[in-house]
A and B are shown apart, each in its own frame.
Chain A
């Protein structure tokens, strides 16, 4: 990070001045831009390319109170070989689970190259003391997670206690060690695009590797315009001398058509550098089967029924 950028986190006042000095986001304009990009027509070779890329970008997720080792093992098998009938089908990027399930996934995924992403820090509310959040994170990493999806303290953010949010992310990042840190902004609770832009910068200044839209546990999850605003933030952060930071929309992306719209937004906002599973992910559970169905349709010319794709 450039010295100029590091300087803005030295005090609460400096951080506040910086975040409030970021250019505003005009809601109507941002939504209009996202809607226009949503009209791009992606066909034939471009569609096939985009579907394979989207599969490689999926963080295949199960985050339920009812998760069991059996469920997680099934999900891992699916993630490694999404289409058992077609060995040319790529694996997903990661399996995304609760910390208690990490040992199961670590065993199931060993040597596969599929990452293990664990939510932590009292997901999804984030309403726990800091030492509990850090212990949660460390336990997940120790059990084999190489990616941590943390939630920010939205209460502190909305109350304007930016430095508190910042310091918490920094502490979790340290607890991660070598594991990659994805910071969930929970954009549905931040409500405005101005807040989304500020929270994105806050997370990037705190050294996050990825910024992620949502937990999937509140009413409004990922949207195209929110993702657009976050992509603009990672683009501007790098242009100002910061690192390259990844983006992960999560929740509510269920169809190939939707996924392709996101890839178009990536392509026309930040370009090729982000069109890679290292820099863009989809947090999703049902999306994968639709991608597989469309992939088979493109290859064979016919739709197979949903019974031809595994339910895990």
Chain B
């Protein structure tokens, strides 16, 4: 051995007890779909089939919504907040107890590094349930009147980038407020949601309070347009978000949408450079860049551009790309071949539009879906890679000269989900935060999440807030 080469340190997958096939979780039990369809969920790091999963048709959506309605009318709606809280605390505790199992399964199904599912995703999932459990008996103090009422049945559709975490963001506040839910996980990452269904059984959650139906776009559409659904919550692409908004327009349904982003990460010349570079890396390469609030547009003040770029390249050369279950992996697999195609297409457009492409030398595995961490320099506001959401480990680097120009460029996007500001000057952070049109502004950090903090978008990044006291509003009749 010549240098310090880390030996493989794989997390064991023996802890996960995968069944060959899964039904739909309706009314507290797993049932076969009426229409009988199914699809496969694969491990994106190896293309191995993990399990066969039922595809819910319209009749199954009907059943699920009916189960949720019955549970709402007969059990969960009338139940006291204090009793609902007991169930939510119990769910949170079981999630903590089974954290390793959930983390391994999440990495298997999604492709994200075990370090992230273990240290970020699953702890945040438990934290969300704990946080909203605390609200269940305190709704009169949430600022929505003396006795806010739930909405009824919530239809929830979540994306594949943080499968279980997005489930928690949706289910925890809905149940705390007294609603029942029908949730559809993404078709490429349904497995942790199905394990969560088992956790609901383990917690003795009354049947029908949580229903998990698996399927693709058609299943989601059937759920959104179902007449028995009182509330629609969606996290995913702006394109699908628009369709959902159109589909529910003119109905009684309340909607929250958390959509795409093209966040600016703004580096001023007085930034703490080593931590700023960490923030840039964390902003775009965390979760392979499959993050709606990813810092995908780097705005660097011209006077420090050379330093920041050379620091960033040196740091990127240290990123460890490979087996998601290896505890030392920094960047895992791209979630699907379709997403990989999209990342490749947009990156090729970046090159053909004249931006300069750079990746550190890195060996990618032969099987599975992989994309090396990539930066584009010489990008201008007119480039497509500076405007469109790539949703992959691809960073566009732009420059600015003055704070006003930074604000102008940061805001010059149809999106407005998040932004980052790096400077040692406190007053400049506040000045920027006042002017940035983004739901979250991170100061000297990036991609920090906390259940107590509301999260959501401006402009085409969606509407409604999730997390915090504000996150209850979307599930209350106010």
CB distance from A144 to the nearest CB of B (A): 34
Interface assignment of A272: CB less than 8 Å from any CB of chain B = yes
Tell me the nearest residue of chain B to A275, going by C-beta: B4
Decide: B5 and A30 in contact? CB cutoff 8 A: no
Cβ–Cβ contact A275 & B327, under 8 A:
no
Measured CB to CB, the nearest residue on chain B to A53 is: B4
- Are B3 and A29 closer than 8 Å at their CB atoms? no
A50–B275 CB distance below 8 A: no
Q: Let me know if B7 and A33 touch, CB within 8 A.
A: no
Question: Any chain B CB within 8 A of the CB of A85?
Answer: no
Could you tell me if B274 and A25 are in contact, using CB atoms closer than 8 angstroms?
yes
Closest to A45 in B: B7
Is residue B377 contacting chain A, with contact meaning CB distance below 8 A? no
> Given the interface contacts A43-B7, A49-B4, A50-B4, does A29 sit within 8 Å of B115 by beta carbon?
no
Do B9 and A41 have beta carbons less than 8 Å apart?
yes
A33, B275: Cβ atoms under 8 Å?
Answer: yes
- Which of B6, B272, B318, B328 has a CB less than 8 Å from the CB of A29? B272
By a CB distance below 8 angstroms, the chain A residues around B199 are none
Among residues 17 to 60 in chain A, which have CB atoms less than 8 Å away from a CB atom of chain B? 23-26, 28-30, 32-33, 39-47, 49-50, 53
CB distance from A219 to the nearest CB of B (A): 26
* CB proximity of B361 to chain A, nearest CB, Å: 15
Q: Is A290 an interface residue (CB 8 A)?
A: no
Residues of A within 8 A of B6 (CB): 40-43, 46
Contact present for B327 and A39 (CB under 8 Å): yes
Q: Let me know if A267 and B444 touch, CB within 8 A.
A: no
In the complex, B445 has a CB within 8 A of chain A: yes
State in angstroms the CA–CA spacing of A261 and B383 once bound together: 42
B444's closest neighbor in chain A, by CB? A26
Distance, CA A26 to CA B273, complexed state (A)? 9
Nearest CB on B from A84, distance (A): 26
Contact of A41 among B3, B5, B327 (CB under 8 A): B327
Q: B310: nearest residue on chain A (CB-CB)?
A: A239
* B4 A41 Cβ-Cβ under 8 A: no
Q: What residue of chain A has the Cβ atom nearest to residue B423's Cβ?
A: A24
Interface presence of B271 (CB below 8 A): yes
Does A168 count as interface, using CB distance less than 8 angstroms? no
Residues from chain B with a CB closer than 8 A to the CB of A45 are 1, 5, 7
- The chain B residue sitting closest to A193, CB to CB, is B272
Is A232's beta carbon under 8 Å from chain B?
yes
Closest to A33 in B: B278
**Interface residues as binary, B278-318 with A (CB distance below 8 Å gives 1, 0 otherwise):** 11000000000000000000000000000000000000001
Q: Which residue of A has the minimal Cβ distance to B5?
A: A46
Q: A25-B274, A26-B444 are in contact. Are A40 and B328 (CB under 8 A)?
A: yes
Minimum CB distance partner of B118 in chain A:
A39
Chain A hits for B273, CB < 8 A? 23
Tell me whether A263 and B424 are in contact (CB under 8 A). Answer: no
> B7 touches which one: A28, A42, A275 (CB < 8 A)?
A42
Q: Is A268 at the interface (CB under 8 A from chain B)?
A: yes
CA of A264 to CA of B270, assembled, Å? 28
Instruction: Answer yes or no: B35 CB below 8 A from chain A CBs.
Output: no
In Å, the complex CA distance between A29 and B444 comes to 8
Query: A-facing mask of B428-462, CB < 8 A → 1, else 0?
Result: 00000000000000001100000000000000000
Q: Is the interface of A mostly helix, strand, loop or mixed?
A: helix
Query: Across the interface, do B4 and A29 meet the contact criterion of CB distance under 8 Å?
Result: no
Q: A23-B274, A39-B115, A41-B328 are in contact. Are A28 and B4 (CB under 8 A)?
A: no
Point out the residues of chain B lying under 8 angstroms from A30, CB to CB.
274-275
| CB-based contact B7/A44 at 8 Å | yes
Q: How far is B445's CA from A24's CA once the two chains are assembled, in angstroms?
A: 14
Do residues B7 and A24 form an inter-chain contact, with CB atoms below 8 A? no
B274, A232: Cβ atoms closer than 8 Å: yes
Which residues from chain A contact B278 at a C-beta distance below 8 Å? 29, 32-33
Shortest C-beta distance, B265 to chain A (Å), equals: 13
User: Given the complex of chains A and B, what is the CA–CA distance between A267 and B115 in angstroms?
Assistant: 19
Among A24, A45, A46, residue most surrounded by chain B Cβ atoms (within 10 Å): A24
Q: Which of B107-140 contact A (CB under 8 A)?
A: 115, 119
A312 to chain B, nearest CB (A): 29
Known interface pairs A39-B327, A41-B327, A41-B328; A26-B7 also in contact (CB < 8 Å): no
CA distance A238 to B435 in the complex (A): 40
Q: Smallest distance from the beta carbon of B332 to chain A beta carbons, Å? A: 15
Contact flag A29-B5 (CB < 8 Å), given A24-B270, A24-B424, A39-B115:
no
A42 to B, closest residue via Cβ = B6
Contacts of A42 in B (CB 8 A): 6-7, 9
How long is the Cα–Cα vector from A30 to B271 in the complex, in angstroms? 13
CB-CB under 8 A from A272, the residues of chain B are 3-4
Check if B271 sits within 8 Å of A23, measured CB to CB: yes
Within 8 A of A (CB), among B184-242: none
Residues of B within 8 Å of A53, CB to CB, are 4
Q: Hey, what's the 0/1 contact readout for B315-327 against A, CB within 8 Å counting as 1?
A: 0001000000001
A residues with a Cβ closer than 8 A to B are 23-26, 28-30, 32-33, 39-47, 49-50, 53, 232, 263-264, 267-268, 272, 275
Closest 3 CB pairs of A and B: A29-B275, A41-B9, A41-B327
Enumerate 21 A-B pairs (CB-CB under 8 Å) in ascending A order: A23-B270, A23-B272, A23-B273, A24-B424, A25-B272, A26-B272, A28-B275, A28-B444, A29-B274, A29-B279, A30-B274, A33-B275, A33-B278, A40-B6, A41-B6, A42-B6, A43-B9, A45-B1, A46-B4, A46-B7, A47-B7
Measured CB to CB, the residues of B under 8 A from A are 1, 3-9, 115, 119, 270-276, 278-279, 318, 327-328, 424, 444-445
